[in-house]
Amino acid sequence: MTLQKLGVIFGGRSMEHEVSVVSARGVMAQADTERFEVVPFGITRNGAWLTPDETRARLARVEAGDTRSLGEDEGDGAFAYPDVTALLRQMDVVFPIVHGTFGEDGTLQGLLEMADIPYVGSGVAASAVGMDKALMRAVFAAHGVPQTDYLVLTDEETRAPSSDTIRRIESELGYPCFVKPANGGSSVGVSRAASREDFGEALAGAARYDRKVLVEAAVTGREIECAVLGNHDAQGSPLGEIRPTTEFYDYNAKYLDDSAELIVPAVVDAAAEARVREMAVRAYRALDCAGLARVDFFVEPDGGVKCIEVNTLPGFTPISMYPRLWQEAGLSYRDLISRLVDLAFERFEEVRSHA
């Protein structure tokens, strides 16, 4: 049997560059060698596309422990790399493991659509909505996905909120509240504000990253995550819990000090577990996701469930929550990769049949 060429695009310009490198190394090391020839396509921190040979050379340095990134080479836009795109066109399927902007937000998916290459994961619209918390929350509301109360501030209001806005925040949401850039990830720009004074600082912090800022009522309870896998037949996994040792699951806890505990399976009562799984699939469908997504929740002390967000390209290192949850269900990392590729082909054919 001829091997399927599986292109892995990774790295990229977001804050999650290094996580993406670890995820891609996991896929390269563990994808089924009887089925796939894995071809790596790295993107540097500044957006330069690397050929597979150059990518392998940089990965060797990562493996030697010299660095954790693919380098800083300045990019010149996606059309500037004809040698890379010529090789990319030869792939049977691509796994784009680029988190955050220019990767998880529909832009890379759009490029792959235009190139007519099947790829793992959600399409353009679901990726874009999943990246924009203001749009995502509106979709949740339209589909009855339970969520926290929130307000969206835009433009001038993010620099100098009117007294009316402050009044609404204080009466409708109260302190503490969470303030976050609408387009973000890795908790970058997210803070908890316990007073009006804190709020001013939190807002300035979030507004640095986006012209839209979300202000949310703070939820208390446990942070519970569900991995969803599939296209039309999407299923929710067993649940996992994140236990941050800091006030919330912030950037440091995620990537720097690795302090948060991941508990798999989460110990939650059966009713809450069923509700989380049901709502995870509902949120997934509401956004019209494909392939995979991790849906994050809070389970409140009274058993109430609040959906926080859908991540269309969750961390995919062998020890990340997403693959761990499927391992818990009996699906190995290797078989999970194969399943995701099957789903990519399935969706590609489906889209094509409607074109």
- In the complex, the residues that contact ligand ADP under the rule CB under 6 A are 148, 178, 180, 184-187, 190, 216, 218-219, 223, 244, 248-249, 296, 308-309
Pairing, β 177-181 against β 191-193 = antiparallel
Min. distance of Cβ 153 from ligand ADP in angstroms?
A: 15
Min. distance of Cβ 238 from ligand ADP in angstroms?
A: 19
Q: Which is nearer to ligand ADP, 104 or 273 (CB)?
A: 104
Min. distance of Cβ 258 from ligand ADP in angstroms?
A: 15
Q: Which is nearer to ligand ADP, 132 or 273 (CB)?
A: 132
Q: Which is nearer to ligand ADP, 59 or 214 (CB)?
A: 214
Min. distance of Cβ 103 from ligand ADP in angstroms?
A: 14
Report the Cα–Cα distance between both ends of the chain, in Å, rounded: 30
Cα–Cα distance between 114 and 235 in angstroms, integer?
A: 29
Structure tokens at 107: 């832009």
Cα–chain center distance at 330: 23
DSSP structure string for 156-224: HHHHS--HHHHHHIIIII-SSEEEEESB--TTTT-EEE-SHHHHHHHHHHHHTT-SEEEEEE---SEEE
Min. distance of Cβ 253 from ligand ADP in angstroms?
A: 8
Cα–Cα distance between 66 and 124 in angstroms, integer?
A: 36
Q: Which is nearer to ligand ADP, 157 or 250 (CB)?
A: 250
Residue 53 carries which DSSP code?
H
Min. distance of Cβ 216 from ligand ADP in angstroms?
A: 4
Q: Which is nearer to ligand ADP, 76 or 201 (CB)?
A: 201
293 neighbors 310 (Cβ within 8 angstroms): yes
Cα–Cα distance between 354 and 350 in angstroms, integer?
A: 7
Structure tokens at 266: 């989460």
Min. distance of Cβ 281 from ligand ADP in angstroms?
A: 19
Which single residue brings its beta carbon nearest to ligand ADP? 249
Per-residue burial over 106-118, b = 16 or more CB atoms within 10 Å of its CB, e = otherwise: bbbbebbbeeebb
Q: Which is nearer to ligand ADP, 216 or 273 (CB)?
A: 216
Pairing, β 4-11 against β 93-97 = parallel
The length of the chain in residues reads 355
Q: Which is nearer to ligand ADP, 291 or 315 (CB)?
A: 315
306 neighbors 144 (Cβ within 8 angstroms): no
Q: Which is nearer to ligand ADP, 83 or 247 (CB)?
A: 247
Q: Which is nearer to ligand ADP, 55 or 311 (CB)?
A: 311
Q: Please give the helix or strand (H or E) that residue 24 lies within, else none.
A: helix 17-30
Min. distance of Cβ 178 from ligand ADP in angstroms?
A: 4
Q: Which is nearer to ligand ADP, 153 or 219 (CB)?
A: 219
Min. distance of Cβ 151 from ligand ADP in angstroms?
A: 12
DSSP structure string for 287-342: TT--EEEEEEEEE-TTS-EEEEEEESS---STTSHHHHHHHHTT--HHHHHHHHHH
Min. distance of Cβ 95 from ligand ADP in angstroms?
A: 21
